[in-house]
Amino acid sequence: MMAENGPARWIDDVQIDEAMTNTAEIAQWIRLSGTEDERKSFDFIDSKLKEYGLKTWLHEPTCLVSLPVSGSLAVGGEAPLAGITHAFSTSTPLAGVAGQLVYAGGGSEAELLAAGATGKIALTDGLATPNKAHAASNVDVAAVVSISGEPVHEMIVSPVWGSPTPATLGLLPTVPLVSINTEQGDALKSRLSSGEKLRVRVHTEVDTGWRPIPLLVADLDTEDREYVLFSGHVDSWHYGAMDNATANATMMETARVLAGHRSELRRGVRFAFWSGHSHARYAGSTWFADKYWFDLRDECVAHVNVDSTGAIGATDLTGANTMAETYSFAREVIQRQTGQELQYRRFGRAGDQSFWGIGLPALFMSLSQQGVADAASADQAFLLGGSASARAGGLGWWWHTTEDTLDKIEPAHLERDIKVYVEVVGRLTTDIVLPFDVRGVLTEIENQLAEIEPLWSSLTMGLDDAPGFDALRADLTIASAAATSFYQSVDGWTGDEGEGQLLSSAIVGACKALMPVNYTISGEFGHDPALGAPPLPALRPFKPVVAMTDDEQWASGHQLRREINRARASLREAARLLRGGL
């Protein structure tokens, strides 16, 4: 339902010189969460948004923030190897932590156990990740060493999403982690494979504590109307020109362009600039989701996120994150503007995707990636895409390093990315009927049920009768039929604006009903750990049924019935809303 001469033409208003100037201003500061230099960048962004005609508010929630200070690895009496530690690593005593070094592959729990890493120091391939820290904590490893590429990549290793609660404090890592470069790591692996016994000592210092962080909100005509949430983080590793100064400039330029067309907007835009992304596991966006849960649920129609736009070499826009319900819309815009065909890539549990429980239809995290894939970018692609099959283009070798500087930005790529965001956000604020397709998520649920139900086939106890998959499929069939009828009306819709608003309300309501089941375990008000997000996660066994004890089978059977009920309720609500919207 795109209006002629609308946002597809607004892209001509993008001024790349303005965006590059804003990028350079932000990238002059090292923006660690909650620090004075980060606050300077927030002040600059605030001043520019006011200049563009937006109303701004600054919040300062107190969150658990972790800033790495130093990390090193010493082999026997040899000189220490230069390395880094990570946000939410534990700090070692002054004397460090010493132990036998063992090689444990990718550092999964199974690989750590196979290597006999309990009580020892594990040498692992790839980035320091929450999954790796979580596995090491479970296995009681003394310390973890990650071979993190060249240069070494800064990371955050806590799986706790946002600031911890009493229920999640125990998930914080209990091990020190350091990362070294590929040359150092390969040399250690070679010595171990030759049979040499290596005793090493790890030193880490990490400044972890509760501190206020800034969170800037800028509104473009949101009062008494629905709105789109457009967000990105400001905090950075080092100067963060790509990650995330260009993204901040993308938001600012989108705000400037849309402000010039504010008389044409049917919905407002709320721009949210987060801190606590890189050093507090999305604590800023999580706080905002909790604080404004009801407003977001009632008035927000979509969440658009931006991260790391405009890089040199970033020629590939085929792997941007979407949801099944937002995919066709994103594909349409990207194809029209770039000629590229967006492939469906479901969101991983990453970025500031703190609004899944609320049910906000979401588009994008990273938009453009490197056109050439290599082994060094595979970990990045997994984190961005959430699956082993994710494209391995990544965000560039400089991502999360000291080398993320202005020379890594290509103005033409940044202009291209900004134009995509201008059209996407512009369409979401002007289309009478929002361009989301609930049929996409219903198809995804149907496909996943075919995969999930057999996972329970060996459950021999825990249920008095069938768990309810047949009833769940029946409700899915009813919801799919309602969606088919609904979109037959939408595709041929020629009514007035009031009728269009009713159609949009039904679409968004159905999305909000289905998303918590499709994306979360903890539901509408919780935040799952940053440890992966397969479709329909709460309907999956927590481990293979054949590996469960009798007690675990009984408990899983009761839990499965509850989760099937939750899924059925969401499908029934979606069907009700779609029928009512006709």
Confidence of residue 376 (pLDDT cuts 50, 70, 90): low
Q: Mean pLDDT, to the nearest integer, of 255-280?
A: 97
- The CATH code of the domain that includes 553 is 1.20.930
> Which pLDDT score, from 0 to 100, does residue 390 have?
45
The widest CA-to-CA distance across the chain, in whole angstroms, is 80
Per residue in 264-275, pLDDT tens? 999 999 999 999
Question: Are 75 and 127 members of one domain?
Answer: yes
Residue 168 reports pLDDT greater than 90: yes
> What pLDDT sits at residue 1?
46
Same domain, yes or no, for 218 and 354?
A: yes
Q: What is the pLDDT of residues 501-514, one digit of tens each?
A: 999 999 999 999 99
Q: Read off the pLDDT band of 519 (50, 70, 90).
A: very high
Q: Verify that 272 and 134 share a domain, yes or no.
A: no
Asked if residue 78 is part of any domain, the answer here is yes
In whole angstroms, give the CA distance from residue 309 to residue 248: 9
Instruction: Return the structure tokens found at 306.
Output: 């931006």
Confidence of residue 3 (pLDDT cuts 50, 70, 90): very low
pLDDT at 377 over 70: no
Q: In the prediction, which pLDDT does 5 show?
A: 59
Kindly tell me if the per-residue pLDDT of 384 is higher than 60: no
User: Is residue 40 predicted with pLDDT exceeding 70?
Assistant: yes
- Residue 62, both tokens: 């107190």
**Is 2 a domain residue?**
no
Q: What is the pLDDT of residue 93?
A: 96
- Tell me how far CA of residue 212 lies from CA of 164, 219, 287, 530, in angstroms: 15, 22, 12, 22
pLDDT tens digit string along 96-106?
A: 999 999 999 99
Phi, psi of 230, deg, nearest 5: -120, 115
Grade residue 493 by pLDDT with cuts at 50, 70 and 90.
Answer: confident
Of 395, 430, 465, at which residue does a domain stop?
430
Cα separation, 144 vs 7, in Å, equals 49
Residue 580 has what pLDDT?
Answer: 87
Q: Single out the residue of 323, 215, 218 nearest to residue 268, CA to CA.
A: 218
Residue length of the chain: 582
Domain check: are 70 and 133 in the same one?
A: yes
Show Cβ contacts of residue 214 under 8 Å, excluding neighbours closer than 6 positions. 34, 38, 39, 42, 58, 59, 60, 234, 275
- Burial class of residue 51 in the structure, from the number of CB atoms within 10 Å of its CB (0-12 exposed, 13-18 middle, 19+ buried): exposed
Over residues 283-287, the mean pLDDT reads 98
Residue 565 structural domain? 438-580
Region 226-234 average pLDDT: 98
DSSP lists the bridge partners of residue 75 as: 200
**Residue 386, phi-psi category: left (phi > 0), alpha (psi -120 to 50), beta (remainder):** left
Q: Is residue 273 part of a domain?
A: yes
Instruction: For CA atoms 427, 430, 432, 438, give the dihedral sign.
Output: positive
- Whether residue 260 sits in one domain with residue 161: no
Asked whether residue 381 carries a pLDDT value surpassing 70, the answer given is no
426 and 301 in a common domain: yes
The pLDDT value given to residue 356: 97
Query: Mean pLDDT over residues 336-364, rounded?
Result: 95
Q: Which of 203, 193, 519, 194 is nearest to 353 (CA)?
A: 519
Q: Is residue 196 part of a domain?
A: yes
83 and 168 assigned to the same domain: yes
58-68 burial, b at 16+ Cβ within 10 Å, e below that, comes to ebebebbbbbb
Together in a domain, 377 and 516: no
pLDDT tens column, 472-481: 999 999 999 9
**Helix (H), strand (E) at residue 124:** strand 121-125
Q: How far apart are CA 536 and CA 476, in angstroms?
A: 13
Q: Are residues 277 and 394 in the same domain?
A: yes
pTM: 0.94
